Amino acid sequence: MAETLHIGRKISKIRELRGMKQETLATELGISQQAISKIEQSADVDGEALEKIAKVLGVPADAIKNFNDDAVLNIISNTFTSQDTSTLNAINFQPSFNPIDKIVELYNEKIVLFERLLQAEKEKNELLKGK
């Protein structure tokens, strides 16, 4: 039962789930990494500190207090399947345009801009010669 009430461990697990290191959390809070380690070892964290930590982690303070490993595992097991294509789509990105066409388009725009710049320089030289 003490495991479910240990706020420091909950902070640690949420931080790890967010892919955040202790050093990053410490930097965001303006404290040392050792202070974060101490907080994560504490069974209780005062309300103001918990609010600041929650804000940096991007979760409400109540979410930290009510965090439950079993609920997280249930969510993961119920939403991830081997037929899930969202992961595959993220890895195998196929744009709806031809990247080569975009490169050619950008190159042509660059040429047009250089020609305009050259024309402006020629006009500037003509004005300077006329004075």
pLDDT tens track for 55-113 = 888 888 888 888 877 766 665 555 555 555 555 555 555 667 788 888 999 999 999 99
Measured CA to CA, the distance from residue 96 to residue 70 in angstroms comes to 40
- Report the domain count for the chain: 2
Q: What's the pTM value of the predicted model, to 2 decimals?
A: 0.54
Which pLDDT belongs to residue 63?
81
Does residue 86 belong to any structural domain of this protein? Answer: no
Are both 66 and 107 inside the same structural domain?
A: no
Are both 101 and 70 inside the same structural domain?
A: no
**Total residue length of the chain:** 131
At 121, the pLDDT band (50, 70, 90 cuts) reads very high
Q: 93: helix, coil or strand?
A: coil
Which pLDDT belongs to residue 27?
92
Q: CATH code at 51? A: 1.10.260.40
- Give residue 100's domain range: 96-130
**Average pLDDT of the residues of the chain:** 81
Helix axes 33-41, 22-29, angle to 10 degrees: 110
Are both 7 and 33 inside the same structural domain?
A: yes
Which pLDDT belongs to residue 79?
56
